[in-house]
Amino acid sequence: MADIAKTELGIASANAIVRGILDGAYKDVDSVLLFQHRHLVMEEYFYGFTAARQHQLRSATKSIVSALAGIAIDRGALPGAHEPVLPHMSYTVYANPDPRKAAMTLGNFFSMSSGLDCNDHSSDSPGRETVIDDTPDWVKPTLDLPMINAPGTHGYYCSGGVAVVGRTTENAVHMSLPDYAQANLFGPLGIRRADWTWNYNLTNANKEYSQIHLRPRDMLKIGMLFANGGVWQGHRIVS
């Protein structure tokens, strides 16, 4: 741990952050870590949380899923973001048939622009998260949705589409996504299997909504990896 007094942040600003959390100005903050100039200069935990306690990542899990799909592309298991997703599925028939579904690519689902009627922020969307989460297979009902736009033309926040990305990746690498993550992302970052929890089960039996739990220091490693362009300690993890 470096001396925060010697950074641009300074002790006064760090103290102001802590006071803001404790007096409720910054709500629902359990931990604060600041990494600057190759050093961890601030690490604080609140409300019973500790460095060893895993935190819910909620929808930040989507960034893990997309990174793993990117690694699968880098390693040749998937041809690229232009790859159509339907050939990677085992389903033979889809509801609301539409020729545009065959054109949906991994990149469309990355950018949440599949063209499907999937919008978590719309109470009228049949593909909103609260509907898909109640189904026995999140991927099939997502792909069964009607098309409302051509793929790649409009973006809507769609959690079901991320399930499609995850299933596509699993089918391509022939591994569960958590196992693939440990072998190709977490392991190379020095994140131990015992230090994270991920119930990645894309069904209504999953009351965790397939979110991952990581320790804050390990969450920081993910951020540092992205900030460094996919390189960790001189080794490329993802392009």
* CATH of residue 234: 3.40.710.10
CA atoms 200, 204, 207, 209: torsion sign: positive
Residues 65 and 31 in one domain: no
Cβ pair 73, 238 in contact under 8 A: no
Beta sheet of 55-56, edge-to-edge order: 55-56, 212-214, 196-198
pTM of the model: 0.94
| 140 and 25 both lie in a single domain | no
pLDDT digits (tens, 9 = 90+) for 93-120: 999 999 999 999 999 999 999 999 999 9
Residues of the chain with pLDDT under 70: none
Question: Same structural domain for residues 49 and 75?
Answer: no
Residues 6+ apart with CB under 8 A from 181: 64, 68, 198
Q: Which residue has the tokens 């009607």?
A: 146
Supply the range of the domain harboring residue 158: 54-239
Please check whether residues 136 and 66 belong to one and the same domain. Answer: yes
34 and 76 belong to one structural domain = no
| pLDDT tens figures, 78-89 | 999 999 999 999
What pLDDT was estimated at residue 178? 98
Task: Say whether both 97 and 25 belong to one domain.
Answer: no
Residues 1 and 99 in one domain: no
Residue 9's pLDDT is what? 84
Q: Is the dihedral of CA 55, 59, 65, 66 positive or negative?
A: negative
- Domain count of the fold of the chain: 2
118 and 31, same domain (yes or no): no
Write the single-letter amino acid at 40. Answer: L
- Rounded Cα gap, residues 117 and 125, in angstroms: 6
Collapsed DSSP state (helix, strand, coil) of residue 222: helix
Note whether 96 and 25 are same-domain residues: no
**Residues 110 and 122 grouped into a single domain:** yes
64 with 172, same domain: the answer is yes
Residues 200 and 82 both lie in one domain: yes
Q: Among the three residues 53, 68, 83, which one is the final residue of a domain in this structure? A: 53
